[in-house]
Each structure stands twice: as C-alpha cells, then as structure tokens.
Amino acid sequence: MVLNPVISKLTGKLVVLASASPRRVEILRNAGLRFEVVPSWFKETLDKGLFCTPYDYAVENARQKALEVARRMPFKHKKTPDIVIGADTIVTVDGMILEKPKDKNDAYRMLSSLSGKEHSVFTGVAIMLCHEEEHEEVDYQLIDFYEETKVKFADLSEDLLWEYINSGEPMDKAGGYGIQALGGMLVEYVHGDFLNVVGFPLNHFCKQLDLIYNQSTSSSVQKDECDLNRNGTDSTHSLNDSAAPTSCSSSADHPIQSSPSDSPAHKVQRKSSETEVSKSSLTVGNNEEHNGTEEGECEPTKEEIERIMELLDGFKASKALFTASKLGLFDLLHSTPGLAAAQVAQQIKASVKGTECLLEACASLGLLKGAQGACQRAVYENTELAERLLRSDASFSLLGYIEHCNDTIWPLFSHLESAVLEGTPQHGKAFSKKNKDLSQKTCSNSREVKRRFMNAMDSIAKVTGKTIATAFDLSAYKTACDLGGCTGAMAHEFTKAHPGLAVTVFDLPAVIEMRDYFHPVHTDDRVSFVAGDFFQDELPKADLYILARILHDWPNEKVCVLLRKIADACTPGCGLLLSEIFLEEDRHGPSRGLLQALSMSEGKQRSVSEYSRLLESFGFSTAHVTHTHNFLDAMLCIKV
C-alpha cells in the first residue's frame, strides 16, 4: 500500500498536519505526501478517567488537535484546509497512560515501569475533511482510527536507565523513549507496526486514504466503513459546535489512571458513528492532473504564495508601527480623535501624502480605524489595541520597547546577512559607535541611551510582570531577589500578587541610580534596591531568586558563573523562577526566540528541557513550567 494512488487527487489541495512532531513529518514526507505543518494549540488536558480505554483517549486527543487547527486556519491563517491530520501517541502499561515525561525523575519513573515488561503503544489518528459551504461556512467531516503495537523491554539496569535519561532523548517522547534512536537498545521485540511506535501508523493511514479516495462506488465505501466500525478501530463522524468527547458513563471496568494535574476536558461532541458516508461526501479535491512546468512539479498554490508574501511584507508592517510610534501618532489621536490626514500631517510636521499613506497602512494593520468625516474626508482614531498598548501614557504601554526595536534591533537586523556569514553581532556596522554591550545596560556613557534601554525593559516588565508573578503559588517564599531587575516594574508586580513577599532588586549602580525616573511615586516598602554586579558581587540573601530575560543574553561560561553563585546562596527548598522565551523542543514552527537568536549575541535561546538540564547541573529540580502566551514564559525550580 502506497500513497501514490491518492496523491494526484490531492494535487493543489491544502493538506495540513496538526503536529510539529519531526518524526510524523518525516514518516509522511518519506511516503510522498505533500502537506503544510500547523501545530495544534489544543491543550492536552483531557481527564483520562473519563475514557473507557487508552485508545479512546488517544483518538480524542487526535480529534481535538485536528479540529482546533481546522477551525483556526480560516481566521488565523486566512485559508481553509482541505484535510487536517491529527495524531496522538501514548504508551500504556499496567493500566497507566504514559505521555511525555515532565523531567528526568518522571522519565525514570516511566522507564522503570516498562523494564522487563510488554506494553502497548497506541496512536490515535483523526482525518478531518473540510468542505467550504455557502456564506463562508465550513462543514467538517471526521474519520478516526487507532493502531496498537506491542513492545517488550529488556530488564534495565540502573546504570543503563540513567545513561539513557541523561542523553536527553526521553524528554520529548511518549513513554520516555524513542525506538528509532538510542531507545532501540531497550527493546527486546516489537509485535505490530514499527512506525506506529515511532509516532504514526503509516500503513493504516494509507488504507484509510484508499478507502476515502479510491473505492469505485459509494456503496463500497459504506460497506467497508461499516466493516471497520464493527472491528472497533475506525469511525466516521460529522461534527457540530455543541458536542463533547466520547467517554464512558463509568470507567470502573476499564480503569485508566490519571495524575492529579489532569484538568477538565475541552469538550467537543461527535454524532453517532452510524452516520452514512458516501463517496461524494468524502471526496476532497478533483481528478485533474497537475500542470506544472516540469514532470512531477506542481504550480505553487494560492496558500503557498500568500505565505511567502506575508514573510516578504513583514518588515514593512514592523516599520509602519515603528514610524507611527516615533511620530507620536497614537498619542495625537488619543488626545484628538477624528482627525483627517491633513490635520494629522500639520500636527506631526510631515507631508500630507506621506501621512495619508501611513494612516491607511496603520488602519490596514488594525491599529487605527477610519470613518467618513465632513466633506467626504476620511478621519482616523485609535483602535482599542492602540489605546491599550501604543499610547505613551497607557498603563501597559509598549512604546518604550517599540522605540528600542526601532533604534537598536532594526539596525542590527538590517545587517543580518553579514551576521550570518560572520557569526558575530553587527554593532560596529549598525552604529557609529561600537556599543558592543548595548543589550547589557552598560552600552555607553550616554545617560539618554541608558534611559531608552531601561524604558524598553520597563515596558516589557509592565506587560509581562503580572503574568509571571501569578504563574505559580509562591506563598512558601517570604523574600525574593530580582537579579537584573532594572526599574523594579517586575518586582512591584510580585509584591502586588503576593502580599507576604518582599523583593530586592539587584542591578548595576548606573541602573539603580536612574530608577526614580521610571517609578518616582512608588511607596511600596516591600521593594528595595541594591546596587552591584551579579557576576562579581555577593548576592542578597533570599528564599526565591528571579531571573527574567537574563540567561539568554550571556555566553555559557558567564551563565554558569551566575547559576553557581545563585546555587551557593540557596539552601534546599529555595526557589529559582526563570522567565525567558522557551523554544519548542524540536525547533519546529515560528518562534520569537529563534528569530531573536539571529542577532548573533553571545547568548543562547533554549527550550524547557535544555533549561531544565542546565539548572539540574547546579542542583535545581524543575517543579513547574508555564507557557504564558505573553512575551515571556516561566519555569519554577527548587534547590534540592
């Protein structure tokens, strides 16, 4: 069974894999399928205890991943897919579902439970067919199935277990092992589909596509589908907005254990699996052959062209935002809304033509809204987004950070080609003075340059501070030290969120002496400031140390110096709260951290597992991780 018989029917159609797993991507691409990867945002927090069997749980996760991507794409990506493929792989042993380990100790628990035993690997797969109806509505039709493979582990010694765990391979894999790599040395035998253990049951998937696309009559589709349903492995559904995941009324006969951290399910119902399926209702695409310029090469799709256009024009949107902010456009339209282009031009001392172009561009970006004024002239005012984030006097204004991006980051990235070729920062080319330490707050003797940098950090801290401060229960801590805490904006959010906490801001003397420029009216006596260099001077004593936007900036040797000083200052039970942009484990998909790394600074962007391994080497165990969907994520580690 190969994919070739159905590829021609998918030509020119948008096939989407709702997973960033590099293993699934490789399996499907090796089979010849052309598709786009759009990782699902579905949070895998379904209550395992609600499901009769482990495979029901895996199938439901796959369904929800596929459905989330299918519903998001028309709005977020401005395109409707034809097919969305969702998948979820789990390992089960002794009635317990094993997913990806949270840390090394969790990996040890999982692998120990598999040692010397046979276990099952289930992959649930959902194929979502999307049909655009009238009035831009989309009809979703679902075919789902699961595959089971039996795997037997050898008896594993402690040394072998920890050697494998310390390799780092278990951390992003269901059950804590990867059979296609080092994990293969743990396995005595495999009964069933090997690729299913890797992460995707290709053979079963091909058979299902053949059923959808290559049956000669609709009756044969119905007959085969009914036969598969009786086998309990495949089903077809129509979806509506009011449904919930299929589960048992009682799980007593088929107990599936769940951890205390499992949260309530995100519920989407499905109709009865007896829904009739005809060939015409399932067919996606047409039978036309490609008309590419070379044999086997298709013309680019509309979606592919649109995606490249988005990337090509991205810098233009950024510069429009930077320019509007620098000219005070959002402050002006806050104080005097409803101005025409000529009136705005007069106020900001710019040309009418240029101002009109800028206003229209900002309106197209959703930063301004236009209306018809007197004499049929367009007039403009801020959107709610601009009011909340782009005014200079807004509580959560990002204007300082926008100014920093325009004046510092933009010039650096204008020399990106040189940065890539040389592998070094481009401050010398970007600025008239070689301010090599611009990002470390000691950039020059200019008070104004320092103020601008601190203003940028202050604006980020205001927007992210509450999210970071409330990410974890910190009631066990009475004192905290915010290392490199700059203006104290983050520290104030911590004291507001935790009434029993006092925070010391520790930063360079030049930073501390300028703090009143940003917070002259703060009277919170639970926030104090101490001047010093955290690489050289003794750190203030605290129960909790905060590192927000610090580690990514420095080379490994200095990171190790700082973490050693923190570890030496900590006693068992002390906390370290790390806040950075956490990279995806497989580096797949768009990432602000990966783009930021192109500045070629001496530092390094890391994933959760990379930060965990780094901190473990200094005696810290990762307790909790939160992906905030804000500028920064957060991780709480405990000194052991």
Is there a contact between 96 and 30 (Cβ–Cβ < 8 Å)?
no
Question: Coil, strand, or helix at residue 548?
Answer: strand
339-365 burial, b at 16+ Cβ within 10 Å, e below that, comes to bbbebbbebbebeeeebbebbbbbeeb
CA distance 164 to 171: 11
Per DSSP, the residues of 492-505 read HHHHHH-TT-EEEE
Contacts of 157 (CB under 8 A, 6+ apart): none
3-state secondary structure of 122: strand
| Beta-bridge partner residues of 220 | none
375 by Cβ neighbours in 10 Å (0-12 / 13-18 / 19+) ranks as: exposed
Cβ–Cβ under 8 Å, residues 393 and 328: no
CB 99 within 8 A of CB 174: yes
CA gap 180, 197 in Å, rounded = 9
Q: Which residue in 244, 211, 255 sits closest to 94, CA to CA?
A: 255
Q: Could you give the angle at the alpha carbon of 436 between the alpha carbons of 430 and 440, nearest 5°?
A: 120
Structure tokens given for 120: 């099952």
Which residue type occupies 441?
Answer: K
* 3-class state of residue 130 by DSSP: strand
Element at 633 (helix H, strand E)? strand 633-639
CA torsion 197→25→580→77, rounded to 10°? -130
Contact present, 174 and 89 (Cβ < 8 Å): yes
- What the block records as the tokens of 629 is 């969907």
> Quick one: tokens of 551?
């580690």
Q: How many CB atoms lie within 10 A of CB 397?
A: 22
Tokens 């801001």, residue located: 505
Query: Strands 368-372, 378-382: parallel, antiparallel or unpaired by DSSP?
Result: antiparallel
Residues known to be catalytic:
88
CA distance 137 to 134: 6
CA distance 105 to 622: 10
